[in-house]
Every structure is written in C-alpha cells, then in structure tokens.
Amino acid sequence: MDTVTKIIAGPAIVWTTAVCIVGLLSIGLGLFWFFNKQARLKHLAELRKKLDELRPSDPEYSGVRALYTSMVIDAERWGFFHSDAGSGNDAGSTDHSGGGHVSDGSSDGGHH
C-alpha cells in the first residue's frame, strides 16, 4: 500500500465502522422499545382486568388501582397510546380508564 491509500483507507474504515455501530444500536433500541411497549400494554390490560374484577371494598383494591394509575401515566408519558391523545381531546385516545375506577380528569373532572 502506498502512503495515499493508507491516508484514505484508515479514516474510511473508522467511518464505516462507526456508521455500522450506530445503525445496529438504532435497530436494537428500536426493537427493544417496540417489544417493551407491547409487554407493558399487555401488563396494563391484565391489571385493568384485575381492577375490574375487584370491588372498592376489597383490601387489595387501592394497591391495584394505584399501580394501574401509575402505569397509565407512564404509558401516556412514553407515548404508548395513540399519538393524537395529547391534542387536548379524548377522541383519539384508547379507553384505558373504563368503568370509572380511574380517571385522568381531562374530560370529566370526576375523581373517585
């Protein structure tokens, strides 16, 4: 190899390696976020089902309700529901408050 080839080849290899690493990290983080989102939504649905089965007089009701409320807030913060839910109206959001157990207060103002 002559000197000019070494000068060009060295930075090209470093640049190609850096671009490949960044690309693989992007794909890996995207897949992680997608599967994490699916798992969290599944857990949220299971918790919603358990909350619907409990009555307010049950001893574990308040704990399940607090956990569910926390998970809904986190899910909304991370954009796990429809992206147009933050536009101020509830038309595009999923019905994750069902049954009147938990309300975010954005439309009805009633807290239980």
33 falls within a domain: yes
What's the per-residue H, E or C state across 80-102?
CCCHHHHHCCCCCCCCCCHHHCC
Q: Dihedral sign, CA of 29, 32, 38, 43?
A: negative
The pTM assigned to this predicted structure is 0.46
DSSP 108: S
Give the chain's largest Cα–Cα span: 83
For residue 70, the enclosing domain spans: 3-82
Question: pLDDT tens-digit profile of 22-49?
Answer: 999 999 999 998 888 888 888 888 888 8
DSSP 60: T
102 falls within a domain: no
pLDDT at 43: 86
91 falls within a domain: no
Number of domains, the chain: 1
Within a 10 A sphere around the Cβ of 71, how many other Cβ atoms? Answer: 18
Would you put residue 100 in left (φ > 0), alpha (ψ -120 to 50) or beta? left
Question: pLDDT tens-digit profile of 68-87?
Answer: 888 888 888 877 766 544 44
108 falls within a domain: no
34 falls within a domain: yes
